[in-house]
Chain A
Amino acid sequence: MSAPGHAVEAVYDVIVIGGGHAGTEAAVAAARRGARTALITSALETIGQMSCNPAIGGVAKGTVVREVDALGGIMARATDLAMLQFRMLNRSKGPAVWAPRAQCDRGLYRRAVRSLIEAHPRLETVQGTVARLLLDDARVVGVETLEGRRFSAGAVVVTTGTFLRGRIHIGTTTSLAGGRAGEGAVTHLAEQLENAGLQVERFKTGTPPRIDGRSVNWSALDRQESEIEAFDFTWSHFWDEPRVRADGATRHPAQMPCLIAFLDAEGKHIIKEHIGESAMYGGAIASRGPRYCPSVEDKIVKFPLAERHQLFLEPEGHDTSEMYVNGLSTSLPAHVQLETLRSVRGLEDVRMTRAGYAIEYDYYPPTQLDATLQVRAVPGLFFAGQINGTTGYEEAAGQGVVAGINAAAAALNGAPLVLGRESSYIGVLVNDLVTRGVDEPYRLFTSRSEFRLTVRQDNALRRLGGIARQLELYSPRELELVAGRLAAEDEARALADATSVRPEVVAPLLAEAHSSALAHAVRASELARRQNVSLRDVFRVLDIGQHLPADAVVSTELELKYSGYFERERTQADKLRRLGEFPLDPALPYHEMPSLSFEARQKLAVLRPHTLAQAASTPGVSPSDLQNLVIEIEKRRRAGVSRREARRR
């Protein structure tokens, strides 16, 4: 039984600790899955806080946002309500690699998240700092807060971000405990987790200084305006009102520009002079930080030949003049940060509102988790977000959805959710984490996926809608909208296949696209396979399918244009899926399989997986082990068959 004490205040199915991007998604997902859920956080006001840069999306990450949305999450909806600048990255490289990214108003984002959370009838919020987990024979049964409040739950999701024993560094002399600038660290829970025998490691990450926009010489800097065409991260069909209202207004707040500045020779010189005073280079921090999110010190040390480094000055919101200096993450002393900032053209008189800092924090090597993000050693306990060694709001959100759904499944005896690598970036993310672990804060890139042609931002609903429907994550209204969106794609495809195009009708279109003229009539789908011809234009010229949503037509066109390539990937994906479903007898004598590596034999003998997919998600089991395992099983099957035949004779 749990430790003696006063009675529990409330009984939940799932408790989520933390109100960041992992925690909020976990709570919503658990609630959507049917679990009575509580989200407990140290300060309700900070629910949905963007602690680093005020941007959502980007390459691979933008796809995750859309996947979270397809699974009923809130990140896309909050972003649509808070974006003050939007860009479609890689737009010039074609819709197959489009990557949506939005700068957000921090305050609007936070408020949007909180209201979306509170919209769920099964989801409650509680302010409190969790002091410890209540355990019953190594199984989680609830939590107790520092304030002495106790809550019971069938499963608990821990999403503590950088708060577990967080330590902030500015220069070599300033080091203070804290989970975020101005907020305290969490130590009690960290100690209990460590005492439970979990392996713990340290990572570091950093943020840049922020400045007062009123002290910036705007006329000296280039502006980067928001793209004119607005974009909805959430499938616009989820909304009952049209995206653009009759008066031309969108649901997004008014758009704001970013400014582009450059750190040049003078600034580089200042940093070089003071490099020994940086927390990272001065020896105050030993742990590893991400290579793709380097501090400005790192950039200057590792790439001394670069003439200058680009800085983006990003507005923090409509209600503040503060700006975020993207590109200048640093742990130099505050006075050096200011000196560096003032060396930048346009920032000669700048005021620094907050100094940048590096932060070290605990993470738990994620190879201690199973494929549902459950801690193997503690049934009912799930981890999501930075606690697993990842970085990024989107990575946190994706894990939150998976952990939330699986925590609900654990509490309610439902089916667990394991997304395949071929299904989504979330699948790649979780699979990488639990099978390979991390040696630097983990961020998603398209290069991490073997399926980046078929796993795109435009088709997340197609990929995950069915799974979400099966898990009953959608409301009846959403079910209807999703079905409508997918039906529109099917209709576009059917229309393209059925419609014959006469040469003279498309002659001007083809001439404009520098595409050769048609000799005879062809199907619209045939025409759309051409590199420079868009299906949307073909439809427009033929005046068909004009009622179909533009993004549905784009998805259809991609499927036509790159069908050969997509097919190759899908064949691979099918192979992977079939292999994953290969059943394993839990009684297999792994120790008698000499063709498996020693480590694989030991791990599999302990875990006794039921499918090859489960075996594959075991750290230490290599692809060649899996191949040999299949051969060993086949060998045994044949031996068994011939023994039976021998007996019959």
Chain B
Amino acid sequence: MPSLTQIRLARRCRVVDPAGATVDDAVATLYAAPHSYTGEDMLELTVHGGAVAPILVLDTLVAAGARQAEPGEFTRRAVLNGKLDLLQAEAVADVIDARSSAAHRQALRQLGGGLSRQLTDLRGQILQLEALLAYDIDFPEEDDGPISRERVAAATDEVMTTLQRLLSTGRIGELVHDGALVVLAGPPNVGKSSLFNALVGESRAIVTETPGTTRDAIEAVIDRPTFPLRLVDTAGLRQDPDPIERLGIETATRYLERAAIVLACLTGVADECVTATLRDCTDAAIITVGTKADLARAAFDADVHVSALTGTGLSELLALIEARLGERPGLSAPDAPVLTRTRHRVMIEQAVEEMHRFRAAWAVSDLPAPVVASHLHAARGSLEELIGTVQVDDVLDVVFRSFCVGK
């Protein structure tokens, strides 16, 4: 009979209590270190669901000397044993906590090592620079002679460009987490609330805040493939005597300021001046939406015509919102690695700052190389802290690979 100790083979088994009574009929799979999630030996039990069976099995295991894992313990062990780096461990939490399909997809990408790889590449580039300087300091009498200043300057620019690009993805991470702010604006009784409800009905709503929970607006976050959308309807908002309202446009300027997209809701040609007014108040992309397409009024110029009643044009509007979002600077490539946490942004900003200082110091050719190189070292340190693991490959390895040194 094949034994339970056969690796990665799911075996049916009985779980018995210390008295010998059967607790459950289960499936057991053994993973041997290091080929397991934690990198340690692991046994996985698949037991029946329901209210009783899992608890009985747990009680039996605890009675036999096991203890329940602390929150996140398996992932922490995986990090300690080098199976995951810190970014991947964060991604595990993000996969579990994801509230939208976009956040979920992004977390999976990070878990797959996308961000780790990009940062590791960057670290490698900085290491190359450090190696150039180390070569200059540690091997003054070699065949290859001193290093070229242009070579160092060019490599520095390359690193800084990548760092800056990475930093700009922080906006994407934010959008994926919070949703892109889509503000409905327009004259009273133009059908904003109906449109709001129709859009929420069209997609899976993640959060709906009922009127009254926020003082001045109705919000809903809906799940869309690229980014979740945070819809805001400020209809009925009359206590702010701001100029826009006096113009008869119902919305709040402070939402407009932060919006990614503004839907200018219109019912006819007479409302066209609304668009122009909005444009003065926001940097967001403005989509003009002809509401009440079902009433078949005289056609007028709008980006899209919808009917909240029949659902006409709703999917077209959503597609248009996503297309316009994609045109926003920095949001064009949501599939590339993205910074998702403040920790990421802070560490990358530190790295950028040190690279800036390095470039400035390098330009002053009289500064000793170890002084200048200390900025590179600090920049690399930020990236290493971000990744959370320090690879074995160091400056000297790179020097020995790249130069014929030694006598």
Q: Do A and B bind each other?
A: yes
Measured between beta carbons, the chain A residues less than 8 angstroms from B407 are: 53, 293, 312, 326-327, 329
Do A96 and B370 touch (CB < 8 A)?
A: yes
- Select from chain A the residue with minimum beta-carbon distance to B394: A447
B174 interface contact, C-beta 8 A: no
- Select from chain B the residue with minimum beta-carbon distance to A60: B138
Measured between beta carbons, the chain B residues less than 8 angstroms from A446 are: 134, 137-138, 370
- Select from chain A the residue with minimum beta-carbon distance to B402: A303
Q: Mark B102-135, 1 if CB is under 8 A from A, else 0.
A: 0000000000000000000000000000100010
Measured between beta carbons, the chain B residues less than 8 angstroms from A568 are: 374
- Select from chain B the residue with minimum beta-carbon distance to A296: B407
A94 interface contact, C-beta 8 A: yes
- Select from chain A the residue with minimum beta-carbon distance to B389: A624
A71 interface contact, C-beta 8 A: no
CA distance A99 to B377 in the complex (A): 22
Do B80 and A59 touch (CB < 8 A)?
A: no
Measured between beta carbons, the chain B residues less than 8 angstroms from A294 are: 404-406
CA distance A303 to B401 in the complex (A): 10
Question: Which residues A291-323 have CB closer than 8 A to chain B?
Answer: 291-294, 299, 302-303, 306, 308-310, 312
CA distance A303 to B144 in the complex (A): 11
Distance to closest chain A CB from B67 (angstroms): 10
CA distance A309 to B144 in the complex (A): 9
Size of the chain A interface, CB-CB below 8 angstroms: 47
A594 interface contact, C-beta 8 A: yes
Interface size class of B (residues with CB under 8 A): 35 or more
Which one, B21-29, B216-224, B361-369, is touching chain A?
Answer: B361-369
CA distance A598 to B41 in the complex (A): 12
Measured between beta carbons, the chain A residues less than 8 angstroms from B396 are: 292, 445, 447-448
- Select from chain A the residue with minimum beta-carbon distance to B364: A531
Do A303 and B140 touch (CB < 8 A)?
A: no
Do B374 and A445 touch (CB < 8 A)?
A: no
Selected contact of A90 from candidates B140, B142, B405, CB within 8 Å: B140
Distance to closest chain B CB from A510 (angstroms): 15
Question: Which residues A145-201 have CB closer than 8 A to chain B?
Answer: none
Distance to closest chain A CB from B47 (angstroms): 24
B400 interface contact, C-beta 8 A: yes
- Select from chain B the residue with minimum beta-carbon distance to A302: B404
CA distance A473 to B138 in the complex (A): 31
CA distance A53 to B406 in the complex (A): 12
Measured between beta carbons, the chain A residues less than 8 angstroms from B137 are: 59, 90, 93, 97, 446-447
Contacts A59-B137, A90-B137 given: A532-B80 contact, CB under 8 Å? no
Measured between beta carbons, the chain A residues less than 8 angstroms from B172 are: none
Contacts A96-B368, A452-B370, A531-B367 given: A306-B81 contact, CB under 8 Å? no
CA distance A306 to B145 in the complex (A): 12
Q: Mark A527-556, 1 if CB is under 8 A from B, else 0.
A: 000011000000000000000000000000
Do B40 and A598 touch (CB < 8 A)?
A: yes
Measured between beta carbons, the chain A residues less than 8 angstroms from B377 are: 450
Do B368 and A290 touch (CB < 8 A)?
A: no
Selected contact of B400 from candidates A292, A329, A565, CB within 8 Å: A292
Question: Which residues B224-276 have CB closer than 8 A to chain A?
Answer: none
Distance to closest chain B CB from A192 (angstroms): 34
Do B364 and A447 touch (CB < 8 A)?
A: no
- Select from chain B the residue with minimum beta-carbon distance to A452: B370
A642 interface contact, C-beta 8 A: no
Do A447 and B134 touch (CB < 8 A)?
A: yes
Distance to closest chain A CB from B134 (angstroms): 4
Do A306 and B138 touch (CB < 8 A)?
A: no
- Select from chain B the residue with minimum beta-carbon distance to A307: B143
B70 interface contact, C-beta 8 A: yes
A230 interface contact, C-beta 8 A: no
CA distance A302 to B370 in the complex (A): 28
Measured between beta carbons, the chain A residues less than 8 angstroms from B404 are: 294, 299, 302-303, 306, 309
Measured between beta carbons, the chain B residues less than 8 angstroms from A302 are: 404
Distance to closest chain B CB from A329 (angstroms): 8
Distance to closest chain A CB from B97 (angstroms): 22
B185 interface contact, C-beta 8 A: no
Distance to closest chain B CB from A99 (angstroms): 7
A562 interface contact, C-beta 8 A: yes
Do B143 and A306 touch (CB < 8 A)?
A: yes
Do A291 and B140 touch (CB < 8 A)?
A: no
Measured between beta carbons, the chain B residues less than 8 angstroms from A595 are: 76, 80
B158 interface contact, C-beta 8 A: no
Measured between beta carbons, the chain B residues less than 8 angstroms from A306 are: 143-144, 404
Do B369 and A97 touch (CB < 8 A)?
A: yes
19 contacts across the A-B interface (CB closer than 8 A): A96-B368, A97-B370, A290-B406, A291-B400, A292-B406, A293-B406, A294-B405, A327-B407, A447-B130, A447-B138, A447-B399, A531-B366, A594-B77, A595-B80, A597-B80, A598-B40, A624-B80, A624-B388, A625-B80
* Chain B residues with a Cβ under 8 A of chain A: 40, 70, 73, 76-77, 80-81, 130, 134, 136-144, 364, 366-371, 374, 377, 388, 390, 394-396, 399-400, 404-407
Sample of 18 further A-B pairs with CB below 8 A, known A94-B366, A94-B367 = A94-B368, A97-B368, A97-B370, A302-B404, A309-B404, A329-B407, A445-B134, A445-B396, A447-B399, A452-B370, A531-B367, A532-B366, A565-B371, A565-B374, A594-B70, A594-B73, A594-B77, A595-B76
